[in-house]
Amino acid sequence: MHKSKDLVTLKDWQDKARAKQLAYWDAQQAMGTLPAMKQRFYQKLGITQKRPRNGSRRDPNAMDVDTQKTEPAIDAIHTGTDGRPQFTERQVETLKILGRCF
């Protein structure tokens, strides 16, 4: 018996057509031949890709880096309205001992 004889209702036909279309799309995507217009159409329908594209594969040796905001240092150097640093007395004494400019 032909496979189409198993499809009785419209929902059966739609499910089978959807499965075939997804298989075709997966094959095109795997080969990298899916046109941009079809990609937008499938995104509009809510059909998501099952495999990552060639360019978006993650490097297994890549290091995971977390971003975070750092708090300003307690002894941060503040600048005045003229753009020159405004040192505290403690910082000036430290700079004098080290022989640095201030």
Q: What is the pTM of this model?
A: 0.34
> What would the pLDDT profile of 44-77 be if each residue is shown by its tens digit?
877 666 555 555 566 777 777 777 777 666 556 6
> What would the pLDDT profile of 81-91 be if each residue is shown by its tens digit?
887 888 888 88
Q: Which residues contact 29 (CB under 8 A, 6 or more apart)?
A: 49, 51, 53
% pLDDT > 70, the chain = 75
- Copy the structure tokens of residue 4: 């189409």
Q: CA angle 31-59-36, nearest 5°? A: 35
Rounded-to-integer distance, Cα 83 and Cα 50, Å: 55
Q: Which residues contact 42 (CB under 8 A, 6 or more apart)?
A: 25
CA-based nearest residue to 75, from 84, 67, 59, 86? 86
Rounded-to-integer distance, Cα 52 and Cα 81, Å: 52
pLDDT of residue 6: 81
pLDDT, averaged across the chain: 76
pLDDT of residue 45: 76
Q: CA angle 62-68-74, nearest 5°? A: 135
pLDDT of residue 71: 67
